[in-house]
Structure 1
Amino acid sequence: MKKEFLLILLVLPVGAFAQVTPAAGYTPPNDTPSFKVGATIFTDYTYQESPKTQDADKENVNFSSFNVSRAYINVTGNLNHYLAFRITPDITRETGTGSSLNGSLTFRLKYAYGQLNLDDWTTHGSWLRLGIQQTPYVDYTEGIYRYRFQGPIFVDREGFLSSSDAGFSGHWNFPGNYGDLHAGVYNGENYNHAETNNQKGFEVRGSLRPLPLGGVWKGLRLTGFADQDKPSSHGKRERHVGQLTFEHPLVNAGIEYLQAKDKALATAATVDAKGWSAWATPRFGTTGWEALLRHDELEPNKNISSQKRKRNIAGLAYWFHPLQGVQTALLADYDSLERTGITPSVPRATNYAVHMLINF
């Protein structure tokens, strides 16, 4: 399996050896170094309807809080038309009980990578990256789903995949807008943990746009994803996802199916999980109003089939008419999680929230 993934990485820039002689009148690319600074902010007010929590007086209350869940500072740029970079810190809540910063929001590194653009040798938008970077599946899906500011996508929210990890990857766009391929070798412990052993994770995503030439079905894409990793020499960490998405000026929609295997140690049992998620974001014309409808289901361990996690999300959003390079949205939503087959039983977790997105 490792050899297969390494082969994928080697063939991604296959067109690099077929550079053609520039035609007459060719204008050379601009190699002037440049950079820009942007930001991404997720903020919200959340009211927890259930379960209730106890305050310091032992009274049962409905917990509520104002939160900032993301505060990117994006520094991106180009050294020339071949070399690009990105540096992005993000916030996290300090939870170390012995730290003077306990409870504070602190910055940590989310992305830091160098990128070799392959546009001169193969299709536009193809590249190689080295550093802490986006993983192949989560970032791709968030670009279609667009509601990461409400909460993570299914496979990320349930802890099976992460949006970022340290590694080396390559991306190649198919000619004719028929899709793309993204494959990489990663530490496998995600951006928020250090590497723990000599094992590396191999991730690959392929997406096919079967009807790219126009019409209603141009927005249809079929995607397959695989992640092969080991948390220890004889452990196992495998994820396989199949996805169908559709993008249209009046609606985006998607459905994905997950199968996962986890085995921490040679002496540990293998845990098989499966689940699926379906969502749609119908738009009300060009008014900026949009609905969010989503349902997730997870069976964390097939050997305990009575255990299930079911999440329902429904919301109404307003997307402000965008300026160039700016995204702003407000979302009022309902988020409910039901967990069954657990002893002792746990109540349904239900939140109401108002979320805000600012991105530039």
Structure 2
Amino acid sequence: MTARKMQTSVLALAAACAWAVPAQAEDADTAALRQQLSEMRAQMAAMAEQMNAMQSRLDSAQAKAEAAEDAANDAAQTAQVAAATAADAKAESDTTGAFAKAAKWAADTKISGRMYYNVSSVNAKDAAGNKVESDGGFELKRFYLGVDHKFDDTFAGNVTMDVSPVDNGGKAVGYGFYIKKAYLEAKLAKELKLRLGSADMPWIPYVEGVYGYRHIEKTLTDLDSFGTSADWGVHASGDLADGVVSYQVSAVDGAGYREPKFTETIDFEGRISAKFGGFNVAVGGYTGELGKDVTGAAPYRTATRFNAMLAYKDEIAGMPVTIGGEYFTAKNWKVLQAAPKDKAEGYSLFASIAPVEQWSVFGRLDHIEPFKNSAPLMQDDFMMFGVQFSPATIVDFALVYKRDNADGGLKIGNLGSGQEKRDEVGLYGQFRF
């Protein structure tokens, strides 16, 4: 029962009591009764006031509770909206972050390519002067496709694919697909850079950079198979003395990048070079088993090679000029343990000049004696010269003449079996991206 209802009941009871006593019968007892009734009415009125006050407090408390509930509901709705907004913002941030990471990955990744090709006419004769080759056509010498990625300022990686002709007894039977380079690089300082995997070897790529015409012909040791341009192993390189001096040392399996294998020993190749005022000087060497020391195979003698190069590459009277020479000597290169010791020796002289923009002329002369002990009469003289047009930094075209003149039925370089003299005229080119 509420306080208001109680108050109404008390007042009604008091009124009934008052009217129950007749006026004419009033006496002392009646006066006393009236007094008691009056006091009761006063008490009931006080109780009614207290109940009214209590009801007011209850009403106020209920209003506050309802207001608090409304505020809580509003807060919950606000929290839900805020949570939804935060979720949307996080989703948008995650999407933006994913795009940013993808964009950074793409910016740190470079794809490159290079193709060497020629259209040539070839004529070759044997020792008796008989024509043993007279043909020509288009030839894809090399196609490289590389992917470089920089993980951070220290680590990077490279994968380079090599497409080149497959030789079978002197006859091209198609093209082979090889992994030429696949390495992880750690650039610890300018003085020390490490590569693990198949990477450039110390000597041949260095000489190619000075020589400048790899797209027309390989360098001396590469052309005559006394070295390889890349191999599987560990490679350390760096620059010293503010870049004046550079070095590289490689520990490899020795069989070349096309034939990774387990071997019983490790081969080593190294180079130290210097560049100052246009002059480039370098010495290098190799020692090892050339990948021949595999379990169960016939033993080979340890092969050694010494290399040296001196060149000038700069401008003279405003014209780019390169002139230089490479020398090598090798011992027991691919010689069986049971066979006598052998020695090889050779040199290459090269020069080029660009008298006008986009045009250059070049020439080269090689001499090699690959078997000085076992077949001293076998030797080869190679020469080439030509003119090159470079309409863009990524495109070169060259009209080239090449000639091999060998003695003793030597199969080396571009010479096939039974060929003593070989002449080639062709249009050589390369493009890069």
TM-score grouping bracket, smaller chain normalisation: 0.7 to 0.9
Supply the AA of the counterpart residue of 2:157: F
How many angstroms apart in 2 are the aligned matches of 1:41 and 1:73? 9
Structure 1 residue 44 corresponds to structure 2 residue 118? yes
SS at match of 1:302: coil
Whether the 8 Å CA contact 2:122–2:133 is kept in 1: the answer is: no
Cα gap change, 1:96/1:144 in structure 2, threshold over 3 Å: closer, same or farther?
Answer: closer
Report the equivalent of 1:112. 182
Cα gap change, 1:95/1:155 in structure 2, threshold over 3 Å: closer, same or farther?
Answer: closer
Supply the AA of the counterpart residue of 1:349: R
Structure 1 residue 225 corresponds to structure 2 residue 225? no
| Aligned-pair CA distance for 1:234 | 5.7
Structure 1 residues without counterparts, runs of 5 or longer? 1-31, 53-58, 213-217
Supply the AA of the counterpart residue of 2:116: F
Correspondence 1:136-215 to 2 at 5 A: 136-195=202-261, 197-209=263-275, 212=276
Structure 2 residues without counterparts, runs of 5 or longer? 1-103, 294-298, 411-416
Cα gap change, 1:172/1:95 in structure 2, threshold over 3 Å: closer, same or farther?
Answer: closer
Supply the AA of the counterpart residue of 1:70: R
Whether the 8 Å CA contact 1:49–1:352 is kept in 2: the answer is: no
Report the equivalent of 1:15. none
How many angstroms apart in 2 are the aligned matches of 1:141 and 1:275? 15
Structure 1 residue 69 corresponds to structure 2 residue 69? no
How many angstroms apart in 2 are the aligned matches of 1:164 and 1:187? 11
Cα gap change, 1:95/1:49 in structure 2, threshold over 3 Å: closer, same or farther?
Answer: closer
Cα gap change, 1:269/1:105 in structure 2, threshold over 3 Å: closer, same or farther?
Answer: same
Cα gap change, 1:342/1:283 in structure 2, threshold over 3 Å: closer, same or farther?
Answer: same
SS at match of 1:143: helix
Task: Spell out, residue by residue over 1:325-347, the C-alpha distance to the aligned partner (whole angstroms, 9 max, x if none).
Answer: xx211011011001113499743
How many angstroms apart in 2 are the aligned matches of 1:94 and 1:177? 39
How many angstroms apart in 1 are the aligned matches of 2:167 and 2:246? 40
Cα gap change, 1:190/1:61 in structure 2, threshold over 3 Å: closer, same or farther?
Answer: closer
Which has a greater percent of strand?
1
More off after superposition, 146-155 vs 189-198: 189-198
Cα gap change, 1:94/1:279 in structure 2, threshold over 3 Å: closer, same or farther?
Answer: closer
More off after superposition, 167-176 vs 194-203: 194-203
| Aligned-pair CA distance for 1:96 | 7.0
Whether the 8 Å CA contact 1:51–1:350 is kept in 2: the answer is: no
Structure scoring higher RCO (CA < 8 A, sep ≥ 6) equals 1
Task: Spell out, residue by residue over 1:221-243, the C-alpha distance to the aligned partner (whole angstroms, 9 max, x if none).
Answer: 21001101123366211110111
SS at match of 2:147: strand
Supply the AA of the counterpart residue of 2:286: D
Correspondence 1:289-304 to 2 at 5 A: 289-303=359-373, 304=375
How many angstroms apart in 1 are the aligned matches of 2:311 and 2:214? 16
Structure 1 residue 341 corresponds to structure 2 residue 408? yes
| Aligned-pair CA distance for 1:255 | 0.4
TM-align CA RMSD: 2.3
Report the equivalent of 1:27. none
| Aligned-pair CA distance for 1:60 | 7.8
Whether the 8 Å CA contact 1:89–1:108 is kept in 2: the answer is: yes
Supply the AA of the counterpart residue of 1:220: F
Question: How many percent identity over aligned positions?
Answer: 20
Supply the AA of the counterpart residue of 1:354: L
| Aligned-pair CA distance for 1:108 | 1.5
How many angstroms apart in 1 are the aligned matches of 2:240 and 2:399? 38
Whether the 8 Å CA contact 2:233–2:252 is kept in 1: the answer is: yes
TM superposition score normalised by structure 1:
0.79
| Aligned-pair CA distance for 1:319 | 1.8
| Aligned-pair CA distance for 1:200 | 1.6
Whether the 8 Å CA contact 1:43–1:69 is kept in 2: the answer is: yes
**Alignment counterpart, residue 80 of structure 1, candidates 152, 156, 166:** 152
**Alignment counterpart, residue 267 of structure 1, candidates 318, 338, 342:** 338
More off after superposition, 262-271 vs 170-179: 262-271
SS at match of 1:267: coil
| Aligned-pair CA distance for 1:194 | 3.2
Cα gap change, 1:274/1:111 in structure 2, threshold over 3 Å: closer, same or farther?
Answer: same
Report the equivalent of 1:330. 397
How many angstroms apart in 2 are the aligned matches of 1:60 and 1:84? 50
How many angstroms apart in 2 are the aligned matches of 1:208 and 1:329? 29
Task: Spell out, residue by residue over 1:85-129, the C-alpha distance to the aligned partner (whole angstroms, 9 max, x if none).
Answer: 1111111334679xxxx933242111111100123xx44xx4110
Structure 1 residue 353 corresponds to structure 2 residue 394? no
SS at match of 2:355: coil
Report the equivalent of 2:307. 241
How many angstroms apart in 2 are the aligned matches of 1:291 and 1:37? 31
Residues paired across the two proteins, number: 303
SS at match of 1:139: helix
| Aligned-pair CA distance for 1:266 | 2.4
**Alignment counterpart, residue 127 of structure 1, candidates 193, 216, 228:** 193
How many angstroms apart in 2 are the aligned matches of 1:346 and 1:49? 10
Whether the 8 Å CA contact 2:310–2:324 is kept in 1: the answer is: yes
Task: Spell out, residue by residue over 1:202-230, the C-alpha distance to the aligned partner (whole angstroms, 9 max, x if none).
Answer: 01100022xx3xxxxx1102100110112
Supply the AA of the counterpart residue of 1:320: P
Task: Spell out, residue by residue over 1:266-291, the C-alpha distance to the aligned partner (whole angstroms, 9 max, x if none).
Answer: 21211101010000011113x11111
Question: Which one has a bigger Cα radius of gyration?
Answer: 2
| Aligned-pair CA distance for 1:49 | 2.7
Structure 1 residue 320 corresponds to structure 2 residue 427? no
SS at match of 1:334: strand
Cα gap change, 1:345/1:191 in structure 2, threshold over 3 Å: closer, same or farther?
Answer: closer
Cα gap change, 1:51/1:342 in structure 2, threshold over 3 Å: closer, same or farther?
Answer: closer
